[in-house]
Amino acid sequence: MAMDYRRLEVWKKSMLLVKTVYPLIERLPQEEKYALGNQIRRAVTSIVLNIAEGTGRNSDKELRYFLTAARGSTAEVEAQLLICIELGFFSEQDAASALQLCDNVKGMLYRFIERVKLVSQKNG
């Protein structure tokens, strides 16, 4: 099920999440910019990278694996943002749009994974 990931709405939405999260990372205290900031950067970029890698693979099984990894990374970003809110690094209002994007991306990935499963079952 090879496809151009750049045309996928879920990839575009994930890129928007990256662009929304990066400015939040800059608000972290200096001592957290490397530790927690690096973790958030790795997780949020992992979403778009896993979608891209999965679509470049040769099987629906591999695509599902990478989409599932992307969904896990999305949940990780969400949890990291909630940690930042709890620790007072930024407000829930500041993170609201990023948290909403996390919800959207998780839902889109879930539906994409289910659609790939259905196609796989029909084909074989």
Residue 30 within a domain: yes
In a domain, 18, yes or no: yes
Mean pLDDT, to the nearest integer, of 58-63? 93
Which CATH number do you get for residue 20? Answer: 1.20.1440.60
Give yes or no for residue 1 having a pLDDT over 60.
Answer: no
Domain with 29, as residue range(s), is 9-123
53 located within any domain:
yes
User: Would you say 89 and 39 are in contact if contact means Cβ atoms under 8 Å apart?
Assistant: no
Q: Measured between alpha carbons, how far is residue 10 from residues 16, 25, 53, 87, 89 in Å? A: 10, 22, 14, 30, 28
**Tens digit of each residue's pLDDT (9 = 90 or more) over 5-32:** 999 999 999 999 999 999 999 999 999 9
Q: How many domains does the chain have?
A: 1
The reply to whether 55 falls in a domain is: yes
Q: What is the pTM of this model?
A: 0.95
